[in-house]
Amino acid sequence: MALATLVHERGIYTLRRQTEMRVALDELTAQAAATQRGGRPLLDDPVWRRRLGRCEVMVEMMAAQGYRTAERAASGDAPAESSVDKVLLANVEHEVLGFALDLLGPFATVARPNCLDRERWLNDYFFCRTASIYGGTGEIQRNIIATSILGLPRS
């Protein structure tokens, strides 16, 4: 019963957080486009563009996985793949919100004018750290994936 409940929770929560990560990433993209480092637009730097592209791919991958899990759960199936959702969600949140902190720069904890809303991004980043623990840590999720999906023996 508990596992079935967690499957539904993870699937719906993943879709909700995917939407929130999409909005956050859109805001970060706009901010990165308006940010200059060394007198040049930040997105002229291929390292930052690559990082932004990685975030984009991860958010879209999370959406596809979340819809797949939600569809299976709606049909009455309790897929172990919801553990994949949970691991993927933690990775996406760390990547996107880590990108926000990197945009804030080395003075992320200092209020500065004309800067990203540091309080929001710091709160979101610290929340994502706790979210990677509740509902089952990454290690627990990987064990579920190993035994239930990959068929590996319990150690």
CA atoms in the 13 A half-sphere facing the CB of 18: 22
pTM: 0.80
Query: Exactly one of 9, 20, 27, 60 is catalytic; which is it?
Result: 9
Task: Examine residue 77 and state whether it is found in any structural domain, yes or no.
Answer: yes
> Is residue 55 a contact partner of residue 25, using CB atoms and an 8 Å limit?
yes
Q: Which of 7, 8, 6, 93 is nearest to 58 (CA)?
A: 93
Task: Examine residue 51 and state whether it is found in any structural domain, yes or no.
Answer: yes
Catalytic annotation on 9? yes
Question: Can you tell me which residue has the tokens 């979340």?
Answer: 66
Which residues in the chain show pLDDT less than 70? 1-11, 78-79, 107-117, 135, 155
Enclosing H/E stretch for 76: none
Q: How many CB atoms lie within 10 A of CB 119?
A: 10
> Which residues make beta-bridge pairs with 36?
41
Domain that holds residue 85: 2-149
Q: Structurally, how many domains does the chain consist of?
A: 1
Task: Tell me how far apart the alpha carbons of residues 112 and 61 are, in angstroms, rounded to a whole number.
Answer: 34
Instruction: Report the pLDDT value the prediction gives residue 26, as an integer from 0 to 100.
Output: 94
Instruction: Report the pLDDT value the prediction gives residue 8, as an integer from 0 to 100.
Output: 62
Question: Can you tell me which residue has the tokens 């990433």?
Answer: 25
Task: Examine residue 69 and state whether it is found in any structural domain, yes or no.
Answer: yes
Task: Examine residue 155 and state whether it is found in any structural domain, yes or no.
Answer: no
Task: Examine residue 136 and state whether it is found in any structural domain, yes or no.
Answer: yes
Task: Examine residue 154 and state whether it is found in any structural domain, yes or no.
Answer: no
Task: Examine residue 70 and state whether it is found in any structural domain, yes or no.
Answer: yes
Task: Examine residue 106 and state whether it is found in any structural domain, yes or no.
Answer: yes
DSSP 40: E
Enclosing H/E stretch for 141: helix 138-144
CATH of the domain at 55: 1.20.140.10
Instruction: Report the pLDDT value the prediction gives residue 139, as an integer from 0 to 100.
Output: 82
Instruction: Report the pLDDT value the prediction gives residue 57, as an integer from 0 to 100.
Output: 96
Instruction: Report the pLDDT value the prediction gives residue 40, as an integer from 0 to 100.
Output: 86
